[in-house]
Structures are given as structure tokens and as C-alpha cells.
Amino acid sequence: MSVPEARDMKVESTGDGQQLELGMPGVLYDQRFLETHVGRTLLTDPVSAIVELVANAWDAGATSVAIAWPSIDGGSIVVRDNGTGMTDSEFSRRWRKLNYNRRAEQGAEAAFPLDAPVINRHRQVFGRNGIGRWAAFCFDDSYAVDTATGGSRNRYHVRRGTSDYPFVITREVADETSNEHGTSIFVSARQHSGLTAHSLRAELGMRFLTDPDFAVRVNGEPVTFEDISASHIDTLYIEVPDGSQIQVTVIDTQVTDRTSRQKGVAWHVGGRLVGKCSWDGPRAEAIIDRRRVAARRFTFIVRADHLAESEAVKPDWSGFDEDNEAYKVAADLVYDAVERYLLSASGADRERTLAHAKERNSEQLRAMTPLNRDRWLTFVTEAQENCPRVREDDVLKLSEIMANLELTKSGYGLLHKLAQYGPEDLDDLHRILSEWTLDMAKVVLDEISKRLQLVEELQARVRDERSREVQDLQPLFEKGLWIFGPEFETIEYTSNSGMTRVIQGLFQVKASGSLLRPDFAILPDSTVGLYSYPRFDEQGADDGIDRLVIIELKRPGVRIGNREKDQCWRYVKELMSKGLVQDGTTKVTCFLLGSEFEPHEMRERVEGESVVIRPMAFEIVLSRAKSRMLGLHQRVQEAPFLQAHRAEIQRFLEPLNPQAGLFEQAAR
């Protein structure tokens, strides 16, 4: 639903004559609308509410926030900042728009007032969805916003609406002259204010002490590290090889904040923040996933003043020179210490993830033996400890994989193979699995495997006169019609035993015993295979033969010439006489394959309207096969499936009598 124009919205007249919308006519809002839209925590928890109001000041480029906090219920709460402030049009747009996208509208970094005494102007903002503006509703059903910028000041009254309108905004002061800039929030502490000023300073200290250029005061007292309870703060001291010392202050909120903003590692040099407080950067990201609970609990404030003398800080204080040796030494020491600290402190987090993993894999765990279950438990536990960067979702997926591997026949064979891959190989595997499903990849790879094995076997057999039976070649060519060209690449080609019997009758061949092969004809100097696919009429009924491929394999020693071509043509004429092939209707291709050819007899011959007789040497057949496989045979010579198949072929050929020729073996 698009936001209607102002003319489509109900308006009321304010004291200064301004017209502000109240809501959309015809749309009703339940009393729970704002709670659902904003979240119950923000409207009921005073800590969350004040943190959001201070975060708004942070996002507005403020360097100072003053909070007036009442000592008893019924007093007034004031949150005043010296940020950029807002014009009337800016306030109207930001407060009126539900789901206001702060980053899309204003950017991911805060804009500072021109007179702000800030060197590092790369401040990452908290705001995302614009819900912080409703935080004052935690304390009362209405609040006031006083904001000044650009020489003028405006004041607004915001109150929760009725079922017709979720909220009502009234401008009480319009464009009053002012030389100040900033925004103040005024609200009565009628509810949820049972929080002392000291406790409030402690809560704010755990979240807003990462940047020395951002000062917060409560009732005139600055928020400092001393305000934080000893149970929430810890200090680490790291010795640097050059004799310097780094102090790391660890702040643990012990509750999970809404986001990981102002959590992570904050580097201070000479009392100023370098870059931003975050879990960004390769070292920090390797330690923890920001979606983890710990990433939204812990802040590590690093005081590394010795880096001021090493020129490690960039001129605009947006970060460090990553190639600076002093910084690299300090970073290694600091992030190692952070990793150790998180590992020792996140035991409960890991236990919870392990419990989720057990629940998700309960069925597989019941099917395991005690040894399998113990091995699974050890792996998941150690994976969390050794890979703290891994997300909880990924740990759960990994636990499922391990549970399934425990129940497979191959066991951990897959992991052993993965362990042999380097980072680039694993990235390639991830890309393949992202672009292909396993079923798709298996179909394609199985077909490639079959074809490469066929090329390997043809290569071994056609070059070895000791092959047990010439008949063994014909079945291979039946699987390899694709070798001869794309027009023969169809699964519809099948051996035509009816035509084979016609050829056998033509030569009065009487084969028996092991030489009786119904799918091709065994002749004195060759074998002939006939492979066809049918033609169908408009009703889908079989209407004869559409394509016929005849493959005749001549034994070594037989020189192929015009007489052998005549013999092929004789096969076709015999089939025509039996009504099995129709000239001009059935397209016939005869491949005459051998190792020796008479001069000038390698040219193909055309008979009738649709018969082609094509002589071809075995070496050319192999060359075509490799070419049609795009050179894969040469490139994957060491593939395990080819090596295994090659060994199998060798075992088959070795027992043969080396003195016996191809057809002598067959005749036996």
C-alpha cells in the first residue's frame, strides 16, 4: 500500500496555522499497532528506550548528550544533544513515515555539525528502521521534540493516537530564530521509570564509551568506566615486544542487545577513536560471527597509545595502515587475546547451540551406536571451540551432516576428500554446488564418465590384435554412435535384430554357441551391426524406419576399397528388397571401419537418394571421439574412474595369447 498524498489524509489546524496529518481515513489501527510495529521491549523497558534516544543523538552527529533524569515517578525526562538538528521538512518526513529507512535516506554514516570538534568523521549509525523516535512512549503517551538547525527552531508535540490514527503530531513553535543546533526530547516519567540515575549511567557506559568524542552526562555527571559494575567490566594487559603495554577494557552487558552496534573492538590512540567500534575486519570476523549472542554482548576497548608514534593511524582517523608493522604486531596480540577471552566466556552460548543440535538430530542420534553418538558429540563440541567464527545456523547444519555421515556406509570418506582441498578448491566446490543440484551434476558427470570410459576402452581394443572377440567392439560402437556426429546422438537408436537376421541370411551365416549374437551379424572378415530408430505418422503410430546406421568392422589385414563399399550397398539393397528400408524415405549411413585402406578409397560414396557409405579408419574414430569430448580425455587422464577402468581393461587383455590375431581368437 503506497503512502497517500497529504490531500488524502485528515488534517487539523494548529495554533500557528500549520496543517499536520493525523492518519488515513478508512484505515483503523488496533491499540496494539504501535507495540507490534515498534516492539514491546522498546515501549516497556526504560533502559532500551533511553539507549535508543541516545543512539538517535549519536546518529545526528552529536558530541554531547545531557540527560535530566528524575528521582521519583512523575518527574520529567529530558534528552538534549548538540547534533545537527532538523528543519521542519526533515522532521515531518522522518516522524511521519512508518518504517523510515534511515540508511537509504541519510546514509550509513552520521553527518556532523560544521563546528563539531571531531577528527574522525566516519561514525557508523545505529538507525535502520526509524523506530527510535517512538522510544519516549515508554514513559508517557505523549512527548515533545524541540529541534534547531540552520538558524531556526521548531517544537512539536507527539502523542499516541486513537483507533483511527496511530499517532498525532502538532507543531507548537514554528521557525523561531535560534543560533543553536541540536534536538531535545521532553517526556513526563509517568511509567517505567524505576531506574536510578546511577544505574542509568552504568547502562549507558556499557554502550557509549567506545568513542571519546561522544560524551554523555546524566544529571550533570559524566558517564565513565567507573559507573559500570565490576561484574560487567574486566581489564586485560598485553605486553608488546617493544616494551609498551596495551590495555584492553572488556565490557559485558550480560544481556543481548538488539544489534551489534557499538559492540566489537574499539581502538583508542591518544584518547581518540580510530575507525569505528565493530567486528569488522579479517581478524575480528575470523573470531566471531556478529549474529552470535556474544557479538551483541561484548565490547573490547583497546588503548594502544604507543601506535601514535609509529604513524599507523590514517590521516583522517578512519582506520589503520594495515601494512604498518607496529599495528600488525599489536593487532595479532589483541585479537588473540580477544579470541581467548570469548572462548572462555561463551561456554553457555556453545552449550545452548549443542542442545539445539541434539534436538534437531534426535532421530539420527537414536539410530546411532553409543560410539557413533560419542564421536558426533566430540566433533560438534570441538568444531564450536576451534571455529568460533562459524554461525550457529552453520553449526546446526554441520551437525546434521555429521549425523548423516555417521549413518552412511562411506563414513567420513567425504571429509577426508574435502580435507585434501585448498581454499580455492573449496570455493570452486561451493560454486559448483550453488549452480548445480547434486542430481543434475550426477547425471552430467555420469554421462561424461561413461563416454570417457568408452573412449578409453576403444583406444585399448582397436589397437590390440589380441582382443578376445571382434564382437566386443560392436557393442562399444552401439554405445558410441555419438562419436560419428550430433545427428546420431539419440537414445532412440537400438540394435535391429530383424535386419541382422536378414544380413545373416544373405551370407548364410550359421553361428552357434558363444558366437551367436542376435544384435549383429558375424561374417568371415567382419562384424556388422545395424542400429535404427523408427518413424512415426501424424497419429503417433510406427511408420517404418526413419534412420538406419550400419557399422561394419573389418578385421586387421583386410584392405578396404570399392569392393567393400559394394558389400555395404548390397546390405542396403537386401533390406530394401525385404521392405525394411525405403530409398528416399529411410536415411541410411554405413560406416565402414578398419585399419587399412586402398589408395583414394577414403572418400564417402552416395547410393540412391538417401544412402551414404562412409569409410573411416579406427584412428580417425578415436580422434573424433576425443574431439567431441572437447579434449576432456586428455585433460582428465588421471581421473580415478579412468584409472580404475584402465586397470580393468588391462586385466581383461593380459591373459590373451599374444600370437593369436583378432579373428583367430573369435573363431575359437
Give 51-75 pLDDT, tens digit per residue. Answer: 899 999 999 999 999 999 988 666 8
Report how many helices (DSSP H) and strands (DSSP E) the chain contains, helices first. Answer: 22, 24
**The domain 6-208: what is its CATH number?**
3.30.565
Q: Is the pLDDT of residue 355 over 80?
A: yes
State how beta strands 182-188 and 142-149 pair: antiparallel
Query: Mean per-residue pLDDT for 85-107?
Result: 87
pLDDT, residue 646, reads: 56
Contact 476, 461 (CB under 8 A): yes
For residue 555, pLDDT over 80 is answered with: no
- Highest-confidence range of 144-153, 287-296, 367-376, by mean pLDDT? 144-153
Of 225, 279, 276, 280, the C-alpha closest to 251 is 225
- Residue 223 has a pLDDT of 92
| Least reliable range by pLDDT among 300-304, 387-391, 421-425 | 387-391
Radius of gyration of the chain (CA): 41
pLDDT value at 446 more than 90:
no
Q: What is the identity of the amino acid at 213?
A: D
Which residue spans within 178-297 are E strands per DSSP? 182-188, 215-218, 221-222, 233-239, 245-252, 264-269, 272-278
Among the ranges 24-28, 116-120, 252-256, which has the highest mean pLDDT value? 116-120
Where are the alpha helices (H) located in 520-656, listed in sequence order? 562-577, 618-628, 632-635, 640-653
User: Which range is most confident: 140-149, 292-301, 462-471?
Assistant: 140-149
pLDDT digits (tens, 9 = 90+) for 339-351: 888 877 767 677 8
Top CATH class, 229-343:
alpha beta
Looking at every residue in the chain, the average pLDDT score rounds to 79
Return the C-alpha cell found at 36.
507490534
Amino acid occupying residue 234: D
DSSP string, 165-208: -SEEEEEEEEEEE-S--EEEEEEE--SS----HHHHHHHHHHHH
Alpha-carbon distance of 210 to 266, in angstroms, equals 6
The percentage of residues in the chain with a pLDDT greater than 90, rounded to a whole number, is 20
How do beta strands 611-617 and 587-594 pair? parallel
Among 57-66, 142-151, 418-427, 585-594, which stretch is predicted with the lowest mean pLDDT? 418-427
Partnered with residue 228 across adjacent β-strands are: none
pLDDT of residue 231: 85
Own/partner long-range contacts of 238-243 (Cβ < 8 Å, ≥24 apart): 238/333, 238/334, 238/337, 240/306, 240/329, 240/330, 240/333, 241/329, 242/306, 242/326
> Structural domain boundaries of the chain?
6-208, 229-343, 348-420, 446-653
Q: Lowest mean pLDDT: which of 60-69, 177-186, 318-327, 432-441?
A: 432-441
- pLDDT of res. 351: 80
Assess whether pLDDT exceeds 70 at residue 467: no
The CA distance from 534 to 490, in Å, is 12
Closest CA to 227 of 262, 185, 268, 196: 196
pLDDT at 508: 67
CB 168 within 8 A of CB 161: yes
Higher pLDDT, 74 or 560: 560
pLDDT at 356 over 80: yes
> In this model, does residue 459 exceed pLDDT 80?
no
Average pLDDT over residues 34-50: 84
Residue 655: CB atoms within 10 Å? 8
Question: Does pLDDT of 238 surpass 90?
Answer: yes
C-alpha pair distances (Å), 390 with each of 244, 256, 385, 396: 33, 19, 10, 10
pLDDT at 154: 95
Tell me which of 519 and 75 has the higher pLDDT: 75
**Mean pLDDT confidence for 531-536:** 83
User: What is the helix (H) or strand (E) element at residue 23, kind and residue range?
Assistant: strand 19-23
Per-residue pLDDT, 344: 76
Q: Does 260 have pLDDT greater than 80? A: no
Tell me if 22 sits within 8 A of 178, measured CB to CB: no
What pLDDT does residue 617 have? 86
pLDDT 10s digits, 472-517? 677 777 777 777 777 777 666 777 777 888 887 777 655 443 344 5
Q: In what order do the strands lie in the sheet with 167-177?
A: 167-177, 152-160, 142-149, 182-188, 76-81, 64-68, 215-218, 221-222
